[in-house]
Structure 1
Amino acid sequence: MAEEPQENISGDDAAAAAFGVGDAGTRAEAVVDELGELYWQKTYGGKDAFESLVRTILSQNTSDVASQPAHDALMQRYGMKGGGSATGDPEQDAAAGHDLAAALADAEQSVLAETISSAGLYNQKSEMIIGAAQRICEEYGGAVGFDRFVREEPPGDVREALLDIHGVGPKTADCVLLFAGGRDGVFPVDTHVHRIARRMGFAPADADHETVREHLEADVPGEKCGFGHTAMIQFGREYCTARKPACLDGPEACPLYDLCDRVGVDEVGESVVDPADTLSNDEA
């Protein structure tokens, strides 16, 4: 059994769960069920919403190896006054006289940029984090109010509000909904999920990230979506890579071979193209 992804993907508050498998209603659900046998079954939620937002911004366009040290350094510098440690509960931290959103709203951009430099694009990310913190302090009164909003308000309203924050795209908004809000039916789409869903044929070959998300959330039961997201990322790293998916080594090399359309994969010629490029080839 493979290991679970890094903490900043699944969160350390994930809870073990047991989902019903078998008799899947769609092929996408069947794949998620198979991933449940291959990896783990978890449910998510309980992370501080603002910290989840910051963590996801740091992870944009970079690897976990780079973004995790940036997150740790940010929390060490801004997490608690007086050198204390943040509890992960915004209400407890606020009771102790500290609010992470307030601390970052007042941060000097050059200092924050230096702090998160390992994450790459640190000037842009520091600007986005400070802007988001200021917006959250203005509209929700700080991390506590924002956390309550994410957990309690309708997911559609939360997603719309998140997307209205500069620097927050669909994947970032969905990760906050999943890892902080614990919302069922949320299937964030990152690079791995986008590639795999189109390669397997769950969404059109030229589908953008939002279209892929719509197909997956329609075809996978709500309680399996969060787990499906993290497990598909792991599968993309271990088996269904961009340049050399396991199926090029033969059907037996990929545990999901029989459930996959392999769009863009030429097993005989041992070549791989982006699924969208197959449409261009067909038209040519």
Structure 2
Amino acid sequence: MPDEPRENIAGDTDTAPAAFEPGTTGTRAEAVVDDFGGLYWQKTYGGTDAFESLVRTILSQNTSDVASQPAHDALMERYGGDGLAAALADAERARLAETISSAGLYNQKSEVIVDAAARIREAYGGADAFDEFVREDEPGEVRDALLDIHGVGPKTADCVLLFAGGRDGVFPVDTHVHRIARRMGLAPADAGHEEVRSRLEADVPAEKCGFGHTAMIQFGREYCTARKPACLDGPEACPLYGRCDRVGVDEVGESVVDPAEAAGD
């Protein structure tokens, strides 16, 4: 079983190997996640500093890990240390933007990071209290508070809950998860990100959601890409062929459209 790559939104988290019982709910979504667990890894998550996790996830928005990881490393080199939140709250935005330029949308992201740091200093008194809040308060309350921060959307909030808070039952939905869940038929073809999230969190046991998220992203990179999923090379090319409805995939014509477009035909 391969190791989880470092180039993952999880970053350098405190992960623990896990072994989960297969098929405890009987849903197809759980069966898919169980197959991911056999193909990749089974882990539990948690332990990342909550504010750094927030920053890392903001940097990852609308870009690849290949681009966002150097931006994170450069940010930590320039501003890191015990006072990261305070340093970023007082950061000169143009200098921060230059620091994170490899991540793309760096002017927008620098504004979001500075505003988030200032908000956390004002509301919680600093990163330590914010970290305690993320780990210990009621998950719905934490999610609402994160979503109230300018520039923080559902995926970012859920990643902080998962990778910093170590919360079970959280299945963040990025572009890979959104595409694959609808293509496979685990969610309606025209479902938005939040409907996909609610479907997966309802159908996958809470303890499996975290590794289901990271493994589905890896599956999207290796097999179920947006433009050329492996199934176009034949059933044997995809290890989950038998689990998939292939919504929007025309194997005969070798064409692919977004599942929502296929549903509208």
TM-score, normalised via structure 2 length: 0.97
Query: Who is 1:237 aligned against?
Result: 221
Query: Unaligned stretches of 5+ in structure 2?
Result: none
Alpha-carbon distance between aligned partners in 2 of 1:23 and 1:160, rounded to the nearest angstrom: 30
Residue 238 of structure 2 is aligned to residue 254 of structure 1: yes
Query: Unaligned stretches of 5+ in structure 1?
Result: 81-92, 94-98
Alpha-carbon distance between aligned partners in 2 of 1:277 and 1:204, rounded to the nearest angstrom: 12
CA contact (8 A) 1:178 1:184 kept: yes
Secondary structure in structure 2 of the residue aligned to 1:189: coil
Secondary structure in structure 2 of the residue aligned to 1:181: coil
Query: Who is 2:186 aligned against?
Result: 202
Within the candidate set 89, 100, 111, 2:95 is matched to: 111
CA contact (8 A) 1:45 1:179 kept: yes
CA contact (8 A) 1:28 1:220 kept: yes
Corresponding residue pairs, total: 264
* C-alpha deviation, 1:216, in angstroms: 0.2
Query: Who is 1:77 aligned against?
Result: 78
Query: Who is 1:83 aligned against?
Result: none
Residue 182 of structure 2 is aligned to residue 181 of structure 1: no
Alpha-carbon distance between aligned partners in 2 of 1:193 and 1:5, rounded to the nearest angstrom: 17
Alpha-carbon distance between aligned partners in 2 of 1:162 and 1:102, rounded to the nearest angstrom: 18
Secondary structure in structure 1 of the residue aligned to 2:74: helix
Q: CA RMSD in A?
A: 1.1
Aligned pair in 2 of structure 1 residues 40, 114: CA closer, same or farther (>3 Å)? same
Residue by residue, what CA displacement relative to the aligned partner does 1:66-115 show, whole Å, maximum 9, x if unpaired?
111110111111112xxxxxxxxxxxx3xxxxx21111001111111111
Within the candidate set 221, 224, 227, 2:211 is matched to: 227
CA contact (8 A) 2:79 2:88 kept: yes
Residue 39 of structure 2 is aligned to residue 55 of structure 1: no
Query: Who is 1:153 aligned against?
Result: 137
Residue by residue, what CA displacement relative to the aligned partner does 1:98-135 show, whole Å, maximum 9, x if unpaired?
x2111100111111111111111111000000000000
Alpha-carbon distance between aligned partners in 2 of 1:40 and 1:262, rounded to the nearest angstrom: 24
* C-alpha deviation, 1:22, in angstroms: 4.0
Alpha-carbon distance between aligned partners in 2 of 1:58 and 1:265, rounded to the nearest angstrom: 31
Question: In the TM superposition, what are the counterparts of 1:97-136 in structure 2 within 5 Å?
Answer: 99-136=83-120
Residue 66 of structure 2 is aligned to residue 65 of structure 1: yes
For the pair shown, the structure with the greater C-alpha radius of gyration is 1
The residue identity in structure 2 corresponding to 1:76 is E
Residue by residue, what CA displacement relative to the aligned partner does 1:17-63 show, whole Å, maximum 9, x if unpaired?
11112465100000000010000101000000000000000000111
Query: Who is 2:10 aligned against?
Result: 10
CA contact (8 A) 1:47 1:179 kept: yes
Q: Equivalent pairs: percent with the same residue?
A: 83
Secondary structure in structure 1 of the residue aligned to 2:224: coil
Alpha-carbon distance between aligned partners in 2 of 1:185 and 1:73, rounded to the nearest angstrom: 32
Query: Who is 1:88 aligned against?
Result: none
CA contact (8 A) 1:26 1:220 kept: yes
Aligned pair in 2 of structure 1 residues 226, 23: CA closer, same or farther (>3 Å)? closer
CA contact (8 A) 2:23 2:34 kept: yes
Alpha-carbon distance between aligned partners in 1 of 2:8 and 2:39, rounded to the nearest angstrom: 21
The residue identity in structure 1 corresponding to 2:60 is S
Alpha-carbon distance between aligned partners in 1 of 2:23 and 2:119, rounded to the nearest angstrom: 45
Secondary structure in structure 2 of the residue aligned to 1:10: coil
* C-alpha deviation, 1:280, in angstroms: 2.0
Q: Which moved more, 1:189-198 or 1:262-271?
A: 262-271
* C-alpha deviation, 1:8, in angstroms: 4.2
Aligned pair in 2 of structure 1 residues 163, 61: CA closer, same or farther (>3 Å)? same
CA contact (8 A) 1:5 1:230 kept: no
Secondary structure in structure 1 of the residue aligned to 2:75: helix
